[in-house]
Amino acid sequence: MSAAKRPRPESAHEEAADDAEPYRTYGEAHAALVGLGRDGDAAGVAAGRRARATVGAAGVPEAVQQLAVRLMARACAQPATDAAQMARALAAALATAAASVRCEAYQALVAVHELKAAALDGEARGRLAGAVGRDVNHAQHRVRCAALAAAAAVPGGAAAFGVLSRFSGDAHPKARQAALGGILRQHMAGARLPVELYDECVVATKDDAEQVRLAAVELVWAVGSAHPEQAVALARAETIRLVDDAFVKVCDMVNDGAVAVRQRACAVLRRFRGVDERFLSQTLSKQVMTNMRRHAPRGGRGYAGRNQGVRGARGRQAAAAAAAAAQIPEGDASVEADEIRLLDSGAAGAFVHGLEDEYQEVRDAAIASIAELSLASAAFAARAVDFLVDMFNDSSDRVRLCAIRALAALGARAPIALTDEQLAIALSAMKDASHAVREGIYAFLGCATPGPGAIGGSREGGSREGGSKEGGSKDAAARDASAWLQRVMDALRANLDRYPADQRAIHRAAQALGRSHSAAVTAPLVRALLGISEHYLSREARIDDAAYAACVILIMNTRAATRQALAAVVPDYVFGHLPYLRDKYPGCLPPDIAASVPPRLPFVRRTIARPRPDPGVAAVERAAARSRVAAAAHAAAQALAAASGDSDTDPSADPDLDARLRAAARLPPGPATQAQAAVAAYAGLVADARRAQAGGPHALGAAARVMDGAYALAARTLGLDARCLLALAHLRVLAHAAWLGAQRSRDSALAARLHDELRQRAARVRRGLERAGLDVPPPLAALAHAEPAAAAAAAAAFVAAFRPLALAPPGCCQRARARLADAQQQQPPPARRAAEFNHLFPLPVAAAADLDWVARRRDVLVTVRLPTQQTLALQPPPAALRPARPLHWALRWPDIPVALPLGSGEPAALELSVALRHPADVPWTDLLVIAAAPVPPAHTAAEHARAVAAPAAQDVRVEIADRSVLLSVSPIEFRAPASAHTRA
């Protein structure tokens, strides 16, 4: 197009656009599009001007003009761009641009209209309306689709609806889809749909194109919901509401051949409101209702008379005779009959088909629609329960979960009555492998009640004459309700053993059952649940038994009158457990539980009635506990500084130093950090070191505690730096020297060897301090450099002048710990003889533990203390100790070989624990120091060398288990089989 034919610019901005140079190549326009918004506002405005000059310019390829239109649409999002001016330029381009460019311009105008959320000005509207009026009749379907999509921006809703509805029957499916999509877009924008559009929407539901049927389903619901009470004329002057007719039409789309259409139809059904109960009930039955016969008209297609038609008497008689001759069975419809059922191809069994669909998306949508419609209709909800329970057996876990949640939502509004078959399905679904499915089943059972045909349901039949018969029927109903409730509780307790992680959900289900079935909780049921006898004294239940707790929660959540009536049946120990159960399972017991405790237990009643601590007060108490712990840790640090000589006070002149160290070793209760706990433990070791330093009869025991505690603190605390480890090694030198002072060896060579070990140990600590850049204490340096002849005097001088090193652990310390589960003796298989398991053979023992903050797997040991007080240290194989996460391990050792000593045929106990091994600084000698045992007087240097080289003397074991586990074993004595002479 030449410049002479271009429209005259009407503003200064448009004149600037005319002066701009248009884009000539695709690469230049694409570079401007990519850089839009990145190069600044001025560059964006300049790019918009060049894009406006490019559209319709002579000699510019269409691909470049299309890219320029996209650039103009993108430029409207920039703050410096005048969107109205850009829209006018796009509307002006619709009159002269090529077809492909006009398609882009239509899309750009729709984007500008939606982006700015404002109507176009009068000039742009006029140009757009004229262009739409021309292009909706264009030969290319792309242009028609773009024009129909832009029709929503044309002013005047009625005119837009007229244009869009006229092209809902276009020859091309994409044009029909664009027309219906435009109508739906106008509805979503708030426009009221005219009722005359309903005919076109119904016809579009039978379109060959899937995308057209998808839009038609939405529009059928939209028009029906916009005019719900509009009367639709049927034959013989009968009418039906438009919302009911629209519901039937959407139900018919559930049988569509396309999966997406079936899913959309099932999803749209949930949006209907105010549908007649007859049509809702028909969706759950494939049998057509016999009381809704309607004439099948052959009349015109108009909205008012599309369902009307007049047939002659001859035609009706001929059709009736044909139907009679064919002997059409009840419930079926004849396509040749004069009368048909209204819902033969509509709502009949719509949800049944949806629930039986092979695609889980359709089944999910059907379940969601059933749940939504059930919330508005109690009768429909009662009929839908059976279908939703059947979906518990679906092959898809997502569908099962959807059905379970739908029923739980229904049960939250009103109890759901279950038949015996439905209850069996629900109980079998509790064994599902999915945790979410099981939790949904528990919530569903909590709102279920016995229904007709179930144990505890109403029983019909038989005459009820007289008050005695009526009372007997009530008693039978109560017994059946108790049996129903016991069946559910037995299944819940079995699932609690099968899935211990479901404990919280099962307890909530028991709580809900107790609230809704107070009348069914009778004395026989309580005795059966608690396992108590009516005539004999029963054993007290374990307070930590989760199944027992579930039964107590069920009983205590009944009505107050029921609890008071059952107080004579419930044992006293159950009431004694209530304070513990209330604190362990918060929210599972009613707040007025204290009133149910009988007066014979006043202490329990006062304990339960005691007010719970306020969360704010508890937070203040925790903060105070932290402050006390921090103050104690600071006092421990000051005491350690005084003991090490770092303070101005002379430690020998402080008479209360030992008392302060002992006090610092006991942190007050509170949330102490591991670093604070390490400082307190170190303070206790320093206090013991001062006792060993003082000499006397208790010096050997104090040295043993220092040696053992220093190893334990180094092995258990993960994250200690080199300075802390050297401070602990320095303490071990003191313990060694104090222990050595109490030795009285007869062998001079052995005594020299023991003192040489001490000097080498001191030399290693001295070198470590020098490498760490720390000052070496003079007594330690003198001991490390002492001559062999003066070694004894140097050790005594070191003990007298010892000062501990400062300990400042980092704040990231963690304590290694192990949590042991109850160990079990492996039972022999039934096929093996019991005689094979005797004291001559290893006894397999199983152990399970969770280890936290352990650095190396090879340091873990399982210790077994035998009845003879001998301790076995066994290293678990790699398969028995696997990493759970970094620095955390799971110990699962099912077959620990424990060989009992000969003659231990009597019942005995084994003590299992978990320990870490720490390399000993001085093998064998450190073990003697820890045991506070002197060197045997008759021990020689050769025997000492053999003892030091033994593997058991190389490591020190440090227990890390929170508690040890006792295992009772009963080994069987070996007896030879009886001979023939013996049997005789």
Domain-ending residue, one of 552, 574, 609: 609
28 found inside a domain: yes
Is residue 712 predicted with pLDDT exceeding 90?
yes
| pLDDT given at position 556 | 93
Helix extents (H) in 76-121: 83-93, 99-116
Q: Assign residue 237 the CATH number of its domain.
A: 1.25.10.10
Whole-angstrom Cα distance, residue 675 to residue 922?
28
306 found inside a domain: no
Whole-angstrom Cα distance, residue 709 to residue 729?
11
Is residue 717 predicted with pLDDT exceeding 80?
yes
Query: Are 685 and 782 in the same domain?
Result: yes
| pTM of the predicted model as reported, rounded to 2 decimal places | 0.55
Band (pLDDT 50/70/90 cuts) for residue 493 is very high
| pLDDT given at position 99 | 75
249 found inside a domain: yes
Whole-angstrom Cα distance, residue 557 to residue 585?
13
DSSP string, 21-55: PPP-SHHHHHHHHHTTTTS-HHHHHHHHHHHHHHT
The Cα-based distances of 643 to 260, 480, 638, 732 in angstroms read 82, 78, 9, 16
Domain-ending residue, one of 743, 773, 800: 800
Closest CA to 853 of 898, 886, 892, 831: 886
pLDDT tens profile 639-656: 777 777 655 544 554 556
Query: Are 773 and 844 in the same domain?
Result: no
| pLDDT given at position 780 | 92
Query: Are 844 and 796 in the same domain?
Result: no
Domain boundaries, position 489: 471-609
Query: Are 776 and 884 in the same domain?
Result: no
Whole-angstrom Cα distance, residue 611 to residue 633?
34
Is residue 405 predicted with pLDDT exceeding 60?
yes
Query: Are 689 and 774 in the same domain?
Result: yes
Band (pLDDT 50/70/90 cuts) for residue 337 is very low
| pLDDT given at position 726 | 93
pLDDT tens profile 827-843: 443 333 332 344 455 67
743 found inside a domain: yes
Query: Are 856 and 888 in the same domain?
Result: yes
Query: Are 795 and 844 in the same domain?
Result: no
Q: Is 144 exposed, middle or buried (0-12, 13-18, 19+ CB in 10 A)?
A: buried
Band (pLDDT 50/70/90 cuts) for residue 60 is confident
**Secondary structure of residue 429 in the 3-state scheme:** helix
Closest CA to 227 of 266, 270, 187: 187
208 found inside a domain: no
Band (pLDDT 50/70/90 cuts) for residue 140 is confident
- Both tokens assigned to 342: 């209204």
Contact assessment for residue 336 and residue 328, using Cβ atoms and an 8 Å cutoff: no
- Both tokens assigned to 621: 């108490």
Kindly state the average pLDDT of the residues 955-973.
79
Q: 503: part of which helix (H) or strand (E)? A: helix 503-516
Contact assessment for residue 926 and residue 917, using Cβ atoms and an 8 Å cutoff: no
Q: 361: part of which helix (H) or strand (E)? A: helix 360-374
Domain-ending residue, one of 758, 776, 800: 800
More confident residue, 136 or 470: 136
The Cα-based distances of 769 to 521, 651, 679, 847 in angstroms read 74, 23, 20, 42
Least confident of 133-137, 263-267, 424-428, 553-557: 133-137
Instruction: Please list the residues that pair with 861 across neighbouring strands.
Output: 915
Kindly state the average pLDDT of the residues 473-495.
83
Kindly state the average pLDDT of the residues 84-96.
72
More confident residue, 597 or 81: 597
Is residue 984 predicted with pLDDT exceeding 90?
no
Helix axes 99-116, 83-93, angle to 10 degrees: 160
392 found inside a domain: yes
- Both tokens assigned to 125: 């509207």
Helix extents (H) in 645-777: 657-664, 674-694, 699-716, 722-741, 748-771
Q: How many domains does the chain have?
A: 5
Is residue 237 predicted with pLDDT exceeding 70?
no
Instruction: Please list the residues that pair with 567 across neighbouring strands.
Output: none
- Both tokens assigned to 537: 């004294």
Kindly state the average pLDDT of the residues 150-162.
61
> CB neighbours (10 Å) of residue 861?
20
Band (pLDDT 50/70/90 cuts) for residue 464 is very low
Query: Are 527 and 601 in the same domain?
Result: yes
pLDDT tens profile 253-276: 898 889 999 999 999 999 998 888
Closest CA to 450 of 491, 420, 407: 420
Query: Are 526 and 634 in the same domain?
Result: no
The Cα-based distances of 472 to 461, 479, 565, 844 in angstroms read 14, 11, 21, 59
| pLDDT given at position 532 | 86
| pLDDT given at position 646 | 58
Whole-angstrom Cα distance, residue 164 to residue 178?
8
Closest CA to 367 of 342, 400, 395: 400
Query: Are 235 and 374 in the same domain?
Result: yes
Which letter, b or e, does each residue of 739-769 get, where b requires 16 or more Cβ atoms within 10 Å of its Cβ? bbbeeebebeebbbbbbebbbebbeebbebb
Query: Are 789 and 825 in the same domain?
Result: no
826 found inside a domain: yes
Is residue 176 predicted with pLDDT exceeding 60?
yes
Is residue 433 predicted with pLDDT exceeding 70?
yes
Instruction: Please list the residues that pair with 914 across neighbouring strands.
Output: 862
pLDDT tens profile 938-952: 777 788 888 888 888
Band (pLDDT 50/70/90 cuts) for residue 15 is very low
More confident residue, 337 or 116: 116
260 found inside a domain: yes
Is residue 875 predicted with pLDDT exceeding 70?
yes
Kindly state the average pLDDT of the residues 94-120.
68
Number of H helices, E strands in the chain: 40, 18
Is residue 733 predicted with pLDDT exceeding 80?
yes
| Furthest-apart CA atoms within the chain: distance in Å | 140
pLDDT tens profile 765-775: 999 999 989 89
Contact assessment for residue 417 and residue 423, using Cβ atoms and an 8 Å cutoff: no
Mean pLDDT of the chain: 77
Query: Are 581 and 639 in the same domain?
Result: no
Is residue 590 predicted with pLDDT exceeding 70?
yes
Whole-angstrom Cα distance, residue 448 to residue 513?
8
| pLDDT given at position 335 | 37
pLDDT tens profile 746-792: 677 888 888 899 999 999 999 999 998 989 999 999 999 998 888 88
Q: Name the percent of the chain lying above pLDDT 70.
A: 74
- Both tokens assigned to 959: 């227990």
